[in-house]
């Protein structure tokens, strides 16, 4: 039996700060004991507050420990909560401003208690974006949202002016109306009366607030920015700037609150991993548009380098997309989704056939094709001019062998290049009739650089497509070979501008501000009329494309740029080459065998093929961010179309979570 004095000594006073719905933050004192569980504490607290409202989203945040107390069955003793603990009783879902890839800002309620990986999944569900694992949240440096030229001190930044407000529809995890991450089938939903597919983009997430609003804000491109607005936008001027921006990626294994994110703070939602799986125009209107927009801004703000010829193609595609997006007929989603039922069924059959492992089985029962032709070769060496020499080349499986001439093909080759895991970079200038392929082939001390030169575009398309497939470990027997050849030819045709008199005569009548479609640096090089003429010349080659086709072609062209997929960090390598300091050695991600992190000294160690090991400390960001990039890419490589669209979240955290 306990006396009243014994009971009093076993209990103690705890003061909890409450985010009061009407009166702001208010302190509430409670008498508790160590064996009281968290759920009981919250119940006691709500009874003491005595306000009738829905408290189900509230939870306890422990300020000193910087953590949520979400395990409601744990006792205060087990959690380590004592009288000096500063606890805040606050909603788990709070407002957040997200700037999307199209520079549009949305305000919505986001879970500040779920790990960022889950929070991003919920955000993408709200915005009708499939494959949320490709995106993440980025907290940019303080000067990102500021104007570069502050002529008017009273002028507020444009980001606050035009915000799409979705706060009335919170993305609450585990909501009873939520069927899970996605619909469980890839097939469209059919109208039971007439059998035509329903507007798939809308029905994909039935409980999304965008299903009730005009989704065109996110699924269609916004009008191009003025040159003045472009000049004011944040631009990564150097590799150091790019490295600085990448330090802001949030940790996917921790919550927003744990990472110091404040309510109504502005973050960037961006595609983080550059492997875009299963882009399907039928379901991905918003995703394709946001991906196009991220690519567009990367080009215009010079986050990725391209030649002037390529810049004009990108400009022509932007101009074409802008024209189509502004036409009234395109804005009707339902017209676009009404596809013949047979065509829809065939489309889904095609998706199914592409999904399995049929390609490998096909290769086993067919002869693998080969390419054989005269090409020119150049291997860079110091103090030697770039001189190409002609050889007879044979492409078989995933290797290229070359001989002095065709007659010696049956003998020993001069050399054999294994392209599995290599880097393939286009080296093309269509106007100058230059069709080159740059190969960076992994060897023990980094990369072996080889240049091939083709005679014409058809030869280039065949060999380039074969090289791209071989770098992924696939042969020309793969079903994607011919489409790849056609895609390359199509892109070359876009580059092949045919100047005509009709273009010159139409410039006077055209309503175009050409500086909106190119980088500021490119705009300064040319007069406005000259730039408009060149964009219109390039536009002739893309003028017949549909809106979605033009966006996909833009994304595809972006992916073909040499710098595509590079993410920059400033690191100090343990293995140092004491030469000039110029980066001459590259280690490919595809040749990585294993990696680990020494969390005590924050050092990343990576082992590659051919017994090459490197170790580095990261100077511009925490090593956890780099570690998560590596694990994240490995996680994305495990996806396949037969996974029924569910995400293995546990596997993601195993690969990216680190010491946690």
Q: What is the pLDDT of residue 139?
A: 93
> Cα–Cα distance between 380 and 409 in angstroms, integer?
25
More confident residue, 151 or 301: 301
Q: Looking at the predicted structure, is the pLDDT value of residue 289 above 90?
A: yes
More confident residue, 53 or 135: 135
pLDDT digits over 234-272, tens only? 888 788 888 888 889 999 999 999 999 999 999 999 999
Q: What is the mean pLDDT of residues 558-576?
A: 73
Count of all residues that appear for the chain in the document:
660
> Cα–Cα distance between 359 and 347 in angstroms, integer?
18
pLDDT digits over 89-117, tens only? 999 999 999 999 998 899 999 999 999 99
Neighbours of 51 (CB within 10 A): 11
Strands 67-69 and 135-138: unpaired
Distance of CA 303 to the CA centre of its chain: 14
Q: Are 553 and 545 in contact (CB under 8 A)?
A: yes
- Lowest pLDDT segment from 76-90, 341-355, 514-528: 341-355
Closest listed residue to residue 114, CA positions, set 559, 649, 533: 649
Helix/strand/coil for 104: coil
Q: What is the pLDDT of residue 349?
A: 46
Q: What is the pLDDT of residue 16?
A: 93
Q: Looking at the predicted structure, is the pLDDT value of residue 173 above 70?
A: no
Sheet holding 423-429, edge to edge: 415-418, 399-403, 389-396, 370-378, 446-454, 434-443, 423-429
Helix/strand/coil for 35: coil
Cα–Cα distances (Å) from 263 to 52, 66, 95, 251, 403, in that order, read 24, 16, 6, 18, 66
- Residue 355: partners with Cβ closer than 8 Å, 6 or more residues away: 640, 641, 642
pLDDT digits over 350-389, tens only? 443 434 333 443 334 346 788 999 999 988 765 556 678 9
Q: What is the mean pLDDT of residues 522-551?
A: 89
Q: What is the pLDDT of residue 465?
A: 93
Q: Looking at the predicted structure, is the pLDDT value of residue 574 above 90?
A: no
Which range, 22-31, 79-88, 331-340, 558-567, is most confident? 79-88
Helix/strand/coil for 97: strand
Strands 266-271 and 11-20: unpaired
Q: How confident is the model at residue 33 (pLDDT cuts 50, 70, 90)?
A: very high
Structure tokens at 102: 């199209």
Q: What is the pLDDT of residue 621?
A: 86
- Considering the chain, what percentage of its residues have pLDDT values greater than 90? 35
Q: What is the pLDDT of residue 648?
A: 86
Neighbours of 115 (CB within 10 A): 21
More confident residue, 156 or 92: 92
Q: Looking at the predicted structure, is the pLDDT value of residue 602 above 70?
A: yes
Q: Are 628 and 224 in contact (CB under 8 A)?
A: no
Helix/strand/coil for 514: helix
More confident residue, 216 or 395: 395
More confident residue, 508 or 112: 112
> Cα–Cα distance between 488 and 462 in angstroms, integer?
9
Helix/strand/coil for 581: coil
Q: What is the pLDDT of residue 20?
A: 78
> Cα–Cα distance between 124 and 208 in angstroms, integer?
10
Q: Looking at the predicted structure, is the pLDDT value of residue 283 above 70?
A: yes
Q: Looking at the predicted structure, is the pLDDT value of residue 41 above 70?
A: yes
Q: Looking at the predicted structure, is the pLDDT value of residue 168 above 80?
A: no
Q: What is the pLDDT of residue 91?
A: 94
Q: What is the pLDDT of residue 466?
A: 94
Q: What is the mean pLDDT of residues 493-507?
A: 56
pLDDT digits over 50-63, tens only? 888 889 999 999 99
Q: Looking at the predicted structure, is the pLDDT value of residue 231 above 90?
A: no
Structure tokens at 293: 């927009």
Q: How confident is the model at residue 331 (pLDDT cuts 50, 70, 90)?
A: very low
> Cα–Cα distance between 5 and 260 in angstroms, integer?
43
Q: Looking at the predicted structure, is the pLDDT value of residue 68 above 90?
A: yes
Q: Read off the DSSP letter of residue 159.
A: G
Task: Enumerate the H helices of 472-617 as residue ranges.
Answer: 481-495, 501-506, 520-525, 528-539, 547-559
Name the average pLDDT for the chain.
78
Q: What is the pLDDT of residue 176?
A: 34
Q: Looking at the predicted structure, is the pLDDT value of residue 170 above 70?
A: no
Give me the numbers of helices (H) and strands (E) for the chain, helices first please: 21, 21
Q: Looking at the predicted structure, is the pLDDT value of residue 207 above 80?
A: no
Q: What is the pLDDT of residue 163?
A: 84
Backbone angles phi and psi of 238, in degrees to 5? -145, 170
Q: Looking at the predicted structure, is the pLDDT value of residue 217 above 70?
A: yes
Angle formed at CA 288 by CA 494 and CA 244, multiple of 5 degrees: 95
Q: How confident is the model at residue 445 (pLDDT cuts 50, 70, 90)?
A: low
Q: What is the mean pLDDT of residues 129-143?
A: 90
Q: How confident is the model at residue 585 (pLDDT cuts 50, 70, 90)?
A: low
Q: What is the pLDDT of residue 647?
A: 81
Q: What is the mean pLDDT of residues 11-32?
A: 88
Q: What is the pLDDT of residue 379?
A: 84
Closest listed residue to residue 254, CA positions, set 137, 127, 337: 137
Which range, 140-149, 215-224, 233-242, 364-373, is most confident? 233-242
Q: What is the pLDDT of residue 350?
A: 45
Q: What is the pLDDT of residue 382?
A: 53
More confident residue, 152 or 326: 326
């Amino acid at each position: 039996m306990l006396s009243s004095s014994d009971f009093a000594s076993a209990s103690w006073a705890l003061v909890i700060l409450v985010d009061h719905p009407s009166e702001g933050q208010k302190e509430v004192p409670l008498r508790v004991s160590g064996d009281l569980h968290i759920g009981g504490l919250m119940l006691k607290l709500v009874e003491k507050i005595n306000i009738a409202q829905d408290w189900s989203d509230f939870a306890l945040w422990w300020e000193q420990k910087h953590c949520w107390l979400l395990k409601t069955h744990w006792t205060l003793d087990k959690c380590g909560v004592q009288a000096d603990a500063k606890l805040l009783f606050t909603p788990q879902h709070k407002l957040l401003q997200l700037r999307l890839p199209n520079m549009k800002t949305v305000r919505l309620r986001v879970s500040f208690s779920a790990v960022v990986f889950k929070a991003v999944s919920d955000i993408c569900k709200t915005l009708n974006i499939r494959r949320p694992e490709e995106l993440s949240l980025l907290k940019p440096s303080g000067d990102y949202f500021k104007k570069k030229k502050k002529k008017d001190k009273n002028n507020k930044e444009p980001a606050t002016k035009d915000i799409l407000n979705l706060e009335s529809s919170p993305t609450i995890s585990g909501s009873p109306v939520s069927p899970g991450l996605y619909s469980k089938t890839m097939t469209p939903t059919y109208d039971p009366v007439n059998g035509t597919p329903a507007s798939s983009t809308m029905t994909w997430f039935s409980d999304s607030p965008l299903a009730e609003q005009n989704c065109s804000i996110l699924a269609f491109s916004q009008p191009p920015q003025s040159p003045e607005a472009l000049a004011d936008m944040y631009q990564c001027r150097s590799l150091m700037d790019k490295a600085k921006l990448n330090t802001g990626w949030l940790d996917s294994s921790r919550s927003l609150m744990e990472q110091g994110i404040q309510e109504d703070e502005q973050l960037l939602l961006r595609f983080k991993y550059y492997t875009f799986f299963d882009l399907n125009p039928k379901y991905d209107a918003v995703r394709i548009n946001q991906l196009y927009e991220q690519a567009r801004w990367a080009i215009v703000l010079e986050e990725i380098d391209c030649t002037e010829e390529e810049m004009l193609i990108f400009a022509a595609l932007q101009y074409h997309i802008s024209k189509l997006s502004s036409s009234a007929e395109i804005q009707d989603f339902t017209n676009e989704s009404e596809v013949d039922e047979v065509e829809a069924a065939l489309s889904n059959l095609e998706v199914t056939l592409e999904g399995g492992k049929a390609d490998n089985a096909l290769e086993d029962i067919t002869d693998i094709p080969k390419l054989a032709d005269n090409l020119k070769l150049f291997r860079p060496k110091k103090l030697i001019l770039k001189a190409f020499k002609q050889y007879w080349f044979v492409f078989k499986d995933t290797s290229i062998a070359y001989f002095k001439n065709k007659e010696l093909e049956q003998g020993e080759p001069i050399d054999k290049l294994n392209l599995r895991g290599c880097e393939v970079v286009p080296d093309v200038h269509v106007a100058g009739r230059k069709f080159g392929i740059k190969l960076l082939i992994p060897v023990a001390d980094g990369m072996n650089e080889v240049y091939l030169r083709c005679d014409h575009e058809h030869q280039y398309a065949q060999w380039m497509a074969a090289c791209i497939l071989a770098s992924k470990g696939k042969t020309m027997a793969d079903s994607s070979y011919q489409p790849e050849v056609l895609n390359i030819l199509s892109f070359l045709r876009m580059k092949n501008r045919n100047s005509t008199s009709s273009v010159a005569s139409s410039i006077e009548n055209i309503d175009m501000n050409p500086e909106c479609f190119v980088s500021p640096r490119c705009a300064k090089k040319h007069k406005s009329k000259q730039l408009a003429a060149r964009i219109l010349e390039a536009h002739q080659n893309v003028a017949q494309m549909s809106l979605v086709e033009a966006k996909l072609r833009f994304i595809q062209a972006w992916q073909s740029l040499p710098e595509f997929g590079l993410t920059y960090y400033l690191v100090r390598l343990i293995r140092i080459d004491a030469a000039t300091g110029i980066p001459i050695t590259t280690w490919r991600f595809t040749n990585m065998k294993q990696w680990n992190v020494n969390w005590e000294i924050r050092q990343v160690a990576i082992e590659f093929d051919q017994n090459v090991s490197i170790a580095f400390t990261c100077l511009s960001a925490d090593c956890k961010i780099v570690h998560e990039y590596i694990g994240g890419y490995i996680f994305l490589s495990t996806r396949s179309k037969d996974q029924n669209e569910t995400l293995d979240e546990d596997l993601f955290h195993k690969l990216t979570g680190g010491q946690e």
